[in-house]
Amino acid sequence: MQIDLNAKYCFPTIPRFSFQTCTDDIIASIAGLVGRDHRLMFTQSWAFDYESSDSEKPITEKFILSDTQNECLFQFLGIEVIMHEQLQLHELLDLAATQMGQGLPVLAWFDSYYNSWDPLFGKEHNNHMCLITGMDIQNQTFTICDPYFGKQNEVVPFQVIDQASGRRYAALNILPVVEHQASIELLYASAQRFMQENGLRHFASDIENNWTNDLSFIWNQESGGLFWNSKFYRLIKNVIILDRHKFKELVLYYIDKEGHNSFLQSIIDQIHIIITHWEAALNMMTKAIVTSSITAKLKTNFITKVNNVVQLEHSLAQMIYSSSFDSGKLHPVKDTMNAEKHTDDLRHVPLDLSRHMNNRGFSYELSAACTADITGTGEYVYVNSGQMESSTFNMPTIGSDMMDNIACMGQVLPVDPLRCKGIAILGCSEWGDSSAFLTIIYQDGTEKNYPVILTDFINEPRYNESVEMKLSLVDKNDNLKVSDAYLFRVMIYFEENEVIDFIQLPVCSNMHIIAMNMLNVHAEQVALEPTHELVTR
């Protein structure tokens, strides 16, 4: 007895195994089996349920983990999950026979310790899940579908599942659904609910008020184990960030349903910025811990990043909610990144960044003795002769005693106040994707932030960058292992009628700038005077 079920990965836009998604992958596979769109279970995913700052609980105990996804699964997809605890093997066989007779699988917990295709096999216990899609009574085996690992029709003995499941299973009941319940109004309701909760502001306030330089307010270095196994790390990664990916999937559902338009696309663009801000903040803290470089500046930079994302999320919620008053119509939103039409009459004027270089990350030398280190953990960018050449950018000089890039720390660059219409950046990110604001300071003292997103340089571009050159990353900790590394070009256009005095680089040390051009009407060399570092304004 067996049903035909295809394993489906729930988040095709993000790399596999980036998050803990086995439950989501299972539901996506079941939804595909019964002809329904799994993305509707993310209707209430954009949230930040968090207790008031008045609570005496530790920060990690203030997160409120709700079961709204299961409720949405029932309401909008008509999929009811019915738990069965402590089933004996013969009871499981009866349940499986009933479910498969209806063309449905059985959900089973599958502890990775007993799962032969799981990297944690024989090493670590956890709460992984799979689907029982068939059984062979004579040979005493189940057929297993494990969507998280992309496995189908894996044969596993009865006794292995009996042990690995902890005898915890779930049956399915498929109900009719009402199509109009999943209207675009749900998107507006998500924004309204987010603004009313205000949990994100409480979280940011708690981080700032409870900060300790040894990070003991979120993690115990002596007894807490590895930071990326800590409760704080997992909450940021697999609750906050993953929930934003889920909300993005919901918006993509409406794009498929309503048709592509600039309003929905602008939501996607803003969610990308929000996600990469959270990723950059978490990576910033992780890198500081791994490299033993926890300083007072980490507090400033981390809190700056969190406060930035607070503003981003509330601005997005306000934008979505405000659109609901336009008779429910989806309408275009101005593209703040500007269109390529601006480039026709602009020339690239190289900025001299040599005085601002503060990191040495490139080398012509393939050697364990090389002192270049762009990540702070023994990795550098290896350059063959002739590779560091560009028709667009003036490239830095590569040498054993010379800095060759800027690790962004909020440096302020003076520019020609009359002619700068935008900038072109040659840069990269390490320790994950990076998102931050580049700030334009106008002559009248006002400021405007422009988002800059850079993909991790070991990956091809995911955002609005383009590949300027392909080099190699060398890991001195792994026998000089060589892998691909990319440098990206990012274009940012300013308001044409404003007079600019300064450009403040992002506050994001994992973001590196190798070269920068002014986009100018007249091609003249601009030399910068020495400037100071400004971390916050």
Please tell me the predicted confidence (pLDDT) of residue 339. 42
- What's the 3-state SS for 425-491? EEEEECCCCEEEEEEEEECCCCEEEEEEEECECCCCCCCCCEEEEEEEEEECCCCCEEEEEEEEEEE
Q: Tell me the C-alpha distance between 38 and 20, whole Å.
A: 17
Please give the residue that has the higher pLDDT: either 25 or 518: 25
User: Which class for 56: exposed (0-12), middle (13-18), buried (19 or more C-beta within 10 A)?
Assistant: exposed
In order, the DSSP letters of 156-178 are: EEHHHHHHHTTTEEEEEEE----
**How does strand 347-350 pair with strand 362-363?**
unpaired
Average of per-residue pLDDT across 167-194? 85
Half-sphere exposure of 510 (CA within 13 A, CB side): 31
7-35+79-174 is a CATH 3.90.15 domain: no
Average of per-residue pLDDT across 316-334? 68
Q: Which stretches does DSSP call E strand in 138-233? A: 141-146, 151-157, 168-174
| Short-list 258, 246, 237, 235, CA closest to 190 | 246
Q: Tell me the C-alpha distance between 451 and 438, whole Å.
A: 6
For 326-359, the pLDDT digits (tens) are: 644 454 444 444 444 445 567 888 888 988 999 9
Percentage of the chain exceeding pLDDT 70:
90
> In the structure, what pLDDT confidence band is assigned to residue 374 with cuts at 50, 70 and 90?
very high
Does pLDDT of 497 surpass 70? no
- Cα distances (Å, whole numbers) of residue 149 to 9, 133, 396: 9, 16, 43
Average of per-residue pLDDT across 449-461? 92
Average of per-residue pLDDT across 429-458? 91
Which residue is listed with tokens 């899940």? 129
User: Which class for 8: exposed (0-12), middle (13-18), buried (19 or more C-beta within 10 A)?
Assistant: buried
DSSP summary character for residue 238:
I
Average of per-residue pLDDT across 96-102? 97
Q: Tell me the C-alpha distance between 492 and 451, whole Å.
A: 9
DSSP, collapsed to helix, strand or coil, labels residue 217 as coil
* CATH architecture, domain 346-521: Sandwich (2.60)
